[in-house]
Amino acid sequence: YLQRWRDGAPPYAWGFFRQLAEREPDNIALLNNMAWLAATDPGAPAEAAGEAVRLAQRAEQLDGGRDPAILNTLSAALAQAGDAAEALAAGKRALALARAQGNQALAERIRIRVDRMAGGGLDTAPDE
């Protein structure tokens, strides 16, 4: 269904992802990936964008705040929702955690986003 999303059918794919999340409400990877798509894809359905923060918060809660990629997703979701202060705070936590874990590649991608947010431009573009 990710390919369906990419092929221009986000509402259709989102419906499938929501059903899957209802069946697997504790699937951290699924929740995180859904939140990332919803927060960073300008073509995401409005209902998806509206759920991004909740999904990212749930993924972080389940993970216990140990995964910097999940915190990065939370930061992107908060930015998309217009909560600049919380987005920046989550981004800084993600950056510190990635550095502490020695994940330099992820840390650099997060650092770029945090720098953009700190400069006033909320960056929700995918970190590719």
Q: What is the pTM of this model?
A: 0.87
Measured CA distances, 74 to 49, 50, 91 (Å): 12, 13, 8
Task: Name the amino acid, one letter, at 87.
Answer: A
pLDDT in tens, the chain (128 residues): 888 888 888 999 999 999 999 999 999 999 999 999 999 999 999 989 889 999 999 999 999 999 999 999 999 999 999 999 999 999 999 999 999 999 999 999 999 999 999 885 544 444 43
**DSSP structure class, residue 41:** -
CB atoms within 10 A of CB 45: 16
Helices 46-63 + 68-80 axis angle, to 10: 150
Within 13 A of 4's CA, how many CA atoms are on the CB side? 10
Dist CA 82 CA 38 (whole Å):
14
Query: Do residues 73 and 87 make contact, with C-beta atoms less than 8 angstroms apart?
Result: no
Question: How confident is the model over 90-122, as pLDDT tens digits?
Answer: 999 999 999 999 999 999 999 999 999 988 554
What span, in angstroms and rounded, lies between the C-alpha atoms of 51 and 47? 6
